[in-house]
Amino acid sequence: MAAVKYINNDLHLESTPITQLAKAVGTPFYCYSSQILETNFADYKLHFGAEPNLICYAVKSNSNQAIISRLAALGAGADVVSEGELRRALLAGIPASKIVFSGVGKTAQEIEFALSQNILQFNVESEPELELINRLALDRGTRAPVAFRINPDIDADTHAKISTGKAGDKFGIPWADAEKSYAKAASLAGIHVQGVDMHIGSQLTNLDPLERALRRMATLTANLKTKGHTISVLDIGGGLGIPYDKGMSVPGIEDYAALTKKVLGPFNCRIIVEPGRSLVGEAGFLITRVTHVKECDHRNMLIVDAGMNDLIRPSFYDAYHEIIPVTLTHADEKSYQIVGPVCETADTFGRNRVIQTQTAGDLIAIKSAGAYGAVMSSTYNTRPLAAEILVEGDHFRIIRPRQSYDELIGLDSPDSPWQISS
């Protein structure tokens, strides 16, 4: 991507040298390209179409306020899965009328808050949840706009931990129960049924499972219409993959949109799509510095100052992230195990990675870390949350400073008063 290139041997994000960012905030840190983010969003808008269709950014993929407000300014809606995410989206300027609320475990408090804000749609995943929403809506004297998330029982052909549309997964209403759930919803005075929703998984690298799921959605929609239900919204979820590995090919946003139009176009419904990774994944990098180079049983270990607490994807999903030097020295290449400082063998970013010979103090960039990177970080091993930076041309903005030790340790309250429990 043109927004990421070496200029005079130094890796630049847009026109900003990464070495300058490291000087400003130290390491490790995340940095994001506004240009890549905006180009990806423009692609979604171009191919899925603006109003009445809606691109609801999956806030869970990267919930920094600066990223959400960038997308808000471009007209994005939001897909949220907690009160926290809903509050973030609203604060970032996304109107409630463009927010859908997904998730299997919405609590009464979260539903009440969402009702008080008049959000666009609840994506309902079970009958008990439907009944709770109905009761809370009636208490407020209102009707909750609802779509059922249907589990189409399709194997999404992705990592088992991020596949969500197979029978037996915790998500959605089982395919066989779908029509029954719609019939029930139609009888509830606090519910306004408006749509059908699905999301079969993430990092989808081929369109076949999506096509099968969309066809099931089309069948259901046709049946529901025949039975007299008014369906005006079809929410197809997110899930489009990105090429983590240089050699990998993934479907484009254009193909994804064309497929959706082909299968769902005849219904003349508003289409909602909930992309996360495909908007923000390739826009982000995790930059880390080599702390030590150590030889271990004939292996070269590159020990860096980012850990699995900063980016958990490689240890949690065995995910591959390309790793490149920040400054090219044209030294010979060597094969390395690239590992963090956390006290677990899982704390490994890459095995047998051939890159230019490294020495302590060198900077390396872990690519495609914009989605499910910073948001999944923790302070394990009492390591402060990394800084985050947004780049635009030759400007940058620190959108989250590195957490200080005082902030981190200060969260504990060891001297709070004892309370009587009975």
**Coil, helix or strand for 320?**
coil
Which phi and psi (to 5°) does residue 171 adopt?
A: -90, 145
Taking the least distance from each CB to ligand LLP, the nearer of 58 and 111 is 58
202 lies in the site for ligand LLP, by CB under 6 A: yes
126 lies in the site for ligand LLP, by CB under 6 A: no
Tell me the closest approach of the beta carbon of residue 412 to ligand LLP, in angstroms.
27
Tell me the closest approach of the beta carbon of residue 150 to ligand LLP, in angstroms.
12
> What residues from 368 to 387 belong to the interface with ligand LLP (CB under 6 A)?
371-372
Tell me the closest approach of the beta carbon of residue 86 to ligand LLP, in angstroms.
14
Query: Are β-strands 10-13 and 4-7 bridged in parallel, bridged antiparallel, or unpaired?
Result: antiparallel
For the record, the structure tokens of 198 come out as 């699905």
321 lies in the site for ligand LLP, by CB under 6 A: no
Whose tokens are 């299968």? That residue is 263
106 lies in the site for ligand LLP, by CB under 6 A: no
Count of positions on this chain that bind ligand LLP (CB under 6 A): 21
**Side-chain-facing half-sphere of 410: CA atoms under 13 Å:** 5
Taking the least distance from each CB to ligand LLP, the nearer of 190 and 276 is 276
Provide the β-strand partners of residue 299: 296
317 lies in the site for ligand LLP, by CB under 6 A: yes
CB under 6 A: which stretch of 21-29, 274-282, 322-330, 412-420 binds ligand LLP?
Answer: 274-282
CB under 6 A: which stretch of 223-231, 248-256, 271-279, 356-364 binds ligand LLP?
Answer: 271-279
Taking the least distance from each CB to ligand LLP, the nearer of 181 and 202 is 202
- Integer Cα distance of 52 and 72 in angstroms: 16
Instruction: Answer yes or no: are the C-beta atoms of 37 and 67 closer than 8 Å.
Output: yes
Taking the least distance from each CB to ligand LLP, the nearer of 181 and 203 is 203
Instruction: Answer yes or no: are the C-beta atoms of 408 and 379 closer than 8 Å.
Output: yes
61 lies in the site for ligand LLP, by CB under 6 A: yes
- Integer Cα distance of 81 and 10 in angstroms: 39
Element (H, E) at 33: strand 29-33
Assess whether 343 carries a catalytic annotation: yes
Taking the least distance from each CB to ligand LLP, the nearer of 317 and 320 is 317
Tell me the closest approach of the beta carbon of residue 61 to ligand LLP, in angstroms.
5
Whose tokens are 């899925």? That residue is 48
Contacts of 8 (CB under 8 A, 6+ apart): none
Q: Nearest-CA neighbor of 60 among 239, 321, 282, 276?
A: 276
277 lies in the site for ligand LLP, by CB under 6 A: yes
Tell me the closest approach of the beta carbon of residue 279 to ligand LLP, in angstroms.
8
Q: Is the dihedral of CA 42, 46, 49, 51 positive or negative?
A: positive
- Integer Cα distance of 94 and 12 in angstroms: 31
Taking the least distance from each CB to ligand LLP, the nearer of 12 and 277 is 277
Q: What is the CA radius of gyration of the chain?
A: 23
Instruction: Answer yes or no: are the C-beta atoms of 104 and 124 closer than 8 Å.
Output: no
What residue type is 154 in one-letter code?
Answer: I
Which of 47, 313, 321, 400 binds ligand LLP (CB under 6 A)? It is 313
CB under 6 A: which stretch of 196-204, 255-263, 344-352, 378-386 binds ligand LLP?
Answer: 196-204
162 lies in the site for ligand LLP, by CB under 6 A: yes
- Integer Cα distance of 278 and 276 in angstroms: 6
| Residue 310 burial class via C-beta count within 10 angstroms: exposed 0-12, middle 13-18, buried 19 and up | buried
Site map (CB under 6 A) of ligand LLP, residues 205-244, x = contact: --------------------------------xxxx----
Contacts of 411 (CB under 8 A, 6+ apart): none
Tell me the closest approach of the beta carbon of residue 58 to ligand LLP, in angstroms.
3
CB under 6 A: which stretch of 25-33, 272-280, 361-369, 396-404 binds ligand LLP?
Answer: 272-280
Which of 47, 199, 212, 321 binds ligand LLP (CB under 6 A)? It is 199
Task: Cite the active site residues.
Answer: 343
Binding site for ligand LLP (CB under 6 A): 58, 61, 79, 102, 162, 199, 202-203, 237-240, 274-278, 313, 317, 371-372
